[in-house]
Amino acid sequence: MVWSPGGWACVRPANVAKKVHMSAIVAGWAGASSVTGSRKAVGRAMGLSGQVPAAAALRKARVGLVSLALRICGAALAVAWCAGPLQAGLIAVPNGSFESPQTDFVDIRIDFWSKTPKPAWWDENAYGPWEQLTGVFLNVPPQDPRHIDNCDGRQAVWLFANPEVGLFQELSARFQVGRAYELTVGLFPGSVYPMEPGATVELSLYYRDAASNRQVVAALVVTNTDSVFSNQAHHLNDFRVSVPLVQATDPWAGQPIGIALMSTVLQVAGGYWVLDNVRLTELRAPGLSSPIITNGLLSFRIEGEPGQPVEILASANVALPLSNWVSLGLLSNETGTVVFTEPATNSLRRFYRARQWP
């Protein structure tokens, strides 16, 4: 029997004298103040002016993990599954392109984002106003050598490479059980003030605990090195943070999603980061469907994100830790739909999983 939107239908595979009962189960897998005279001073210090037309940005998703349980017991093929094809969707990040407020030069206000508070050790008489360590600026014209060639829109944000400097915001969207998340941010080290090699910035997704403290769910630390940013002085490089499928037992399940962009140097490193085009994608696990045994071969279809490889795992015991499952190989899944085939076993029960790789 095969379940479809119209009901059940009987399928009798050729040359099969067994009955296979299959069900799909979702499993876990294992990322304002106004600007007055300081406005021009900040702009001159960073060497900023001009404008640029809007630029488009590509968005890409990832896949998750589901599993199939097979039980050999009789004479026809009975099938049921509950996970559909992977569905990826962008979650709105307010002012993720840093276009607000609009400016014709620079502005230390950044709508929808909060700045980290000034630490007690920061002496504004010695180091300057804390508020000026982050802000939005207008991209310079294309003929200017400092032009950002892939700026998303007309503006980006600067963030100085000093300890505890950062931006964060909480979204209305929440971490949903059975969904995975991917944060993508474009960035590069600014060129007006040289940045020390080894300076770091952390991109993270977080939630707030019962005491309202930010708790990191997944993070990526980006380091200023020539190997990462060589020959791309004014080009945004995309960096991604991935959160695996949220489980009901995860403390962040059901909590509002937070995004943080934080300088993580331990001492003033000089220079600043340019960031833009903050994107957040929500992902559902891929679907496994159409199981059949023909001429002693078991096959089923995997529907997921085109171009995202998946690893097929198998086990006779679904309760075993994932590390104890046997890998049956990788599938490239170039088109988004791929068929897995292997010789049918004599096991009474066999479970399969397809998970994102790497």
Closest Cα partner for 218 from 184, 250, 241? Answer: 241
Specify whether 194 is located in the same domain as 332. no
Specify whether 48 is located in the same domain as 161. yes
Residue 247 is encoded by which pair of tokens? 């489980």
Specify whether 303 is located in the same domain as 194. no
pLDDT value for 255? 98
Sign of the alpha-carbon torsion through 307, 275, 209, 109: negative
End-to-end CA gap in the chain: 35
pLDDT value for 202? 98
Specify whether 294 is located in the same domain as 264. no
- CB neighbours of 145 closer than 8 A, spacing ≥ 6? 234
Specify whether 274 is located in the same domain as 308. no
Residue 131 is encoded by which pair of tokens? 């508020």
pLDDT value for 288? 81
| Dist CA 344 CA 70 (whole Å) | 11
pLDDT value for 333? 82
Kindly state the DSSP code that residue 35 receives in the 8-state scheme.
-
The CA angle 305-335-244, to the nearest 5 degrees, is 15
Specify whether 270 is located in the same domain as 318. no
Sign of the alpha-carbon torsion through 227, 230, 234, 238: negative
Specify whether 275 is located in the same domain as 236. yes
Specify whether 272 is located in the same domain as 337. no
pLDDT value for 175? 98
Q: What radius of gyration, in Å, describes the C-alpha atoms of the chain?
A: 25
Specify whether 73 is located in the same domain as 107. no
Q: Last residue of a domain, which of 226, 257, 284?
A: 284
Q: Which CATH number characterizes residue 265's domain?
A: 2.60.120.260
Residue 184, CB-side half-sphere exposure with 13 Å CA sphere: 19
pLDDT value for 126? 92
Specify whether 220 is located in the same domain as 290. no
Q: Last residue of a domain, which of 284, 308, 343?
A: 284
pLDDT value for 232? 67
DSSP string across 250-297: STTTTSEEEEEEEE--SS---SEEEEEEEEEEEEEPPEEEEEEEETTE
Specify whether 124 is located in the same domain as 258. yes
pLDDT in tens, the chain (358 residues): 222 222 223 333 333 333 333 333 222 222 333 333 444 445 544 544 333 333 333 233 333 334 454 443 332 333 333 333 344 689 999 999 999 999 999 999 999 999 999 999 999 999 999 999 999 999 999 999 999 999 999 999 999 999 999 999 999 999 999 888 999 999 999 988 889 999 999 999 999 999 999 999 999 999 999 989 976 678 999 999 999 889 999 999 999 999 999 999 999 888 999 999 999 999 877 778 888 888 889 999 988 777 778 889 999 898 999 889 999 999 988 888 899 999 887 777 888 888 877 6
- CB neighbours of 8 closer than 8 A, spacing ≥ 6? 1, 2
| Dist CA 210 CA 344 (whole Å) | 50
Residue 226 is encoded by which pair of tokens? 């020539």
Say if residues 203 and 222 touch (Cβ distance below 8 Å).
Answer: yes
Say if residues 72 and 125 touch (Cβ distance below 8 Å).
Answer: no
| Dist CA 65 CA 285 (whole Å) | 5
- CB neighbours of 348 closer than 8 A, spacing ≥ 6? 71, 72, 73
pLDDT value for 2? 27
Kindly state the DSSP code that residue 354 receives in the 8-state scheme.
E
H helix intervals, the chain: 38-46, 124-127, 226-229
Q: Last residue of a domain, which of 258, 284, 310?
A: 284
Q: Which CATH number characterizes residue 293's domain?
A: 2.60.40
Residue 331 is encoded by which pair of tokens? 């599938």
How many domains are contained in the chain?
2
The CA angle 180-185-187, to the nearest 5 degrees, is 160
Q: Which domain covers residue 65, as residue numbers?
A: 2-30+60-86+285-356
For 322-354, b/e burial (b = at least 16 CB within 10 A) is: eeebeeeeebebeebbbebeeebeeeeebbbbb
Strand partners, 180: 283
pLDDT value for 358? 65
Specify whether 96 is located in the same domain as 175. yes
